[in-house]
Chains A and B, each alone.
Chain A
Amino acid sequence: AQSVSQHNHHVILSEAASLELGCNYSYGGTVNLFWYVQYPGQHLQLLLKYFSGDPLVKGIKGFEAEFIKSKFSFNLRKPSVQWSDTAEYFCAVSGNNDMRFGAGTRLTVKP
């Protein structure tokens, strides 16, 4: 069965700091990978997705993620966070009519 691990439960950063949120998955076949963000009081939004091709994926709002197949990882990065990036971030993996979400990482950015 597929599983997704987000190791950081809560990350606190100051503005302008760099961000990297870890996501590791367990699955034997071809996968599609996603990062979603949920801002306080809002619904889930898609940040970026990887289906195939260039393993470095650029998303909205300056986020990017790198698919490293050998490490089963799809870490989310942003070089310089802003206070408005405070939100919950979810990694998800889909494949073979199955989709799993990580437990989420809460990011708090201090102004």
Chain B
Amino acid sequence: NAGVMQNPRHLVRRRGQEARLRCSPMKGHSHVYWYRQLPEEGLKFMVYLQKENIIDESGMPKERFSAEFPKEGPSILRIQQVVRGDSAAYFCASSPGTHQGGTIYFGEGSWLTVV
């Protein structure tokens, strides 16, 4: 049973370009979370999605960032017109449903560098 798969692991973008980060949850998991880790900080929650539905996006920046989790395929975190401050590690986690004390699994992260 494959774990949470994130790709690309490393991504370099120039300022103004778009970045797309993908997350394939564990088999059977229908809930996905995205977190961002800025240098020298801990993880910060961004968004929580269920298939075809955004449950909580209270941690998402108001502009340029969007996320989706379609019925088929991976969850996508999209950053438009990237700026240097977007350089960070982005982690995805998945769970089978509303967590009842655990069963959340993390991917290995995607490192975005904006030059």
Contact = CB atoms under 8 A, between A and B. Distances in A.
Contacts of A27: none
Main secondary structure of the interface of B (DSSP, over half): strand
B42 A43 contact: no
A36 interface: yes
A24 interface: no
A94 B102 CA distance: 22
B75 to A, nearest CB: 16
Contact of B42 (A34, A41, A106, A108): A34
A46 B100 contact: no
A51 B39 CA distance: 11
Interface of A: 34, 36, 38, 40-41, 43-44, 46, 49, 51, 86-88, 90, 94, 97-101, 104, 106, 108
B98 A41 contact: yes
Query: Across chains A and B, which 5 residue pairs bring their CB atoms closest together, nearest first?
Result: A46-B42, A88-B102, A43-B45, A101-B106, A106-B102
